[in-house]
Structure 1
Amino acid sequence: TSPGPTQSLNLRKPFFVGGINPDLSSNDKVKKHLQGVLGSFEGCMRNMKQNYETFGQPNATQKVSSCVANLERGTFFNDQGGYITLYDKYYVGLDFAFNLDIRPRNLSGVILAIYDPAEKGDYIFLQLVDGKVVATADNGQGEVKTEYTPREENALCDGEWHSISVNKAKNVLLLTVDGNNAPAGTGAVGSSEINTNDPMYIGGVPDFTRTGILTDRNFSGCIRNFEIRRGKGELYKAQYLSSGDITGDVTLNKCPRN
């Protein structure tokens, strides 16, 4: 509070709406004035005004998306482009399998990527390419590929959820889409291990020029029910995309229904 009959506030830009800059969250003065409440506002705002004048468009936003009335569970990757770094260092190894559901809004986009940034490094990718679902892997002995082609080019962009399963078992790569098995991809015998110690990206990648990436777009649409099995005979474990680091326009825990 200000002493005496003060009737105005001496404020300086920037103004934060809906939350504060993460760099300020550890500031003792900020903590005191906010009484320890440092969480961001969850919900929708509109018609922001100061002295009866609208604020206009913000200079910058962080993890903010448009308000949508009709929502359901999942993570939404906006058309503007964005992705989640779910793990900073992930080892694929001999056996690796995962399941997820997608509801895409575009025929092309990177769904999952784990790769050594070196040009000839190991990798595994799951991508949409012109309406096809393509899984590829390389352990240094040449690319292994399996591809699912729907009967109609736009079949996966029909507004419905579609299930995808990928299973890398040593030198064999299996892909199933909506219960339909794609032809298996088989690599060189005796060359089975994908040696990665690199980020796992969901919904896109920071660099589309990497060998093995077949599109120049991030995934657009919704993803849910992502689960991983690390080794043969192990159980699948649910993965929480909200635990990852967001880059770009991604909305956690809610998807527009249409």
Structure 2
Amino acid sequence: MNDQPVGHPEGARGVSPCSDGLTERGMYFGGGHVVLDDPFAAGAQFTLTFELRPRRPTGLLFHARGHGTSFDVFLINNTVGVTVNDGGGSVSVALTPQKICDGEFHVITVSKGEKDLMLMVDATSEKKAGPFASFPSSTTQGLLHIGGALESSGAPVTSPYMGCLRNMIINGRRVASEARAARVIGLVDFNVCPAY
């Protein structure tokens, strides 16, 4: 400016990080989130699989609230956690991998059966039996938020997820095309993630 170099910015709001042209496939969350139009039933059996490469060790990955039900997947201080309440009671499971913010993608699988909740991070898994409802109601659904939520009250983490997600699959169905047609709040890049 005025023939003087500006230098590096002290901070940034609402912009994707510079990647020096190196990018790869995935969705980048820079403090924003996506709200899917398709309701998510926390009371039903489901399997959610995705890959993540976080830039921060804490953030809300998935969040849904229905009448008396809830579903949260989150990072908190490098620990991957899941909490599900299907109306019969709350069940939580967590895993702390050796490194989660190592610049590599990690495969996460969350699976809720009739009687237990399972979390797998790469090749390590943890399972917990739950006081799940005997007759889960498909009517207790909430909209699924990916990457954070404006109304995250009751979630174990309220800060948004910062980093990349890819290969999101719920019950065998890819989420990417639905996410592109969903409501986007804040910074989300559907096309590319900065490569490390």
| TM-score for the superposition, normalised by structure 2 | 0.83
Q: Which runs of 5+ in 2 are unaligned?
A: 1-13
Higher relative contact order (CA 8 A, sep 6+): 2
Alpha-carbon distance in 2 for matches of 1:124, 1:189: 13
Does the 8 A contact of 1:170 with 1:192 survive in 2?
no
Alpha-carbon distance in 2 for matches of 1:64, 1:157: 21
How much is the aligned-residue C-alpha RMSD, in angstroms? 2.1
Which structure dedicates a bigger proportion of its chain to strand?
2
Q: Which runs of 5+ in 1 are unaligned?
A: 1-62, 230-235
Alpha-carbon distance in 2 for matches of 1:189, 1:108: 27
Deviations 1:132-159 (A, max 9, x none): 01011012232101111123xxx10000
Which of the two has higher C-alpha Rg?
1
Map 1:183-194 onto structure 2 (within 5 A).
184-188=127-131, 191=134, 193=136
Map 1:1-258 onto structure 2 (within 5 A).
65=16, 68=19, 69-78=21-30, 81-116=31-66, 121-151=68-98, 155-182=99-126, 184-188=127-131, 191=134, 193=136, 195=138, 196-208=140-152, 210-211=153-154, 213-229=155-171, 236-240=172-176, 241-258=179-196
Q: How many residues align?
A: 180
The verdict on how the C-alpha distance between 1:215 and 1:189 changes in structure 2, with shifts beyond 3 A counting, is closer
Alpha-carbon distance in 1 for matches of 2:81, 2:45: 19
| TM-score for the superposition, normalised by structure 1 | 0.64
Whichever residue aligns with residue 174 of structure 2, its letter is A
Does the 8 A contact of 2:108 with 2:119 survive in 1?
yes
Alpha-carbon distance in 1 for matches of 2:56, 2:92: 22
Where does structure 1 differ by over 3 angstroms across 4 or more consecutive aligned residues? 63-68, 189-192
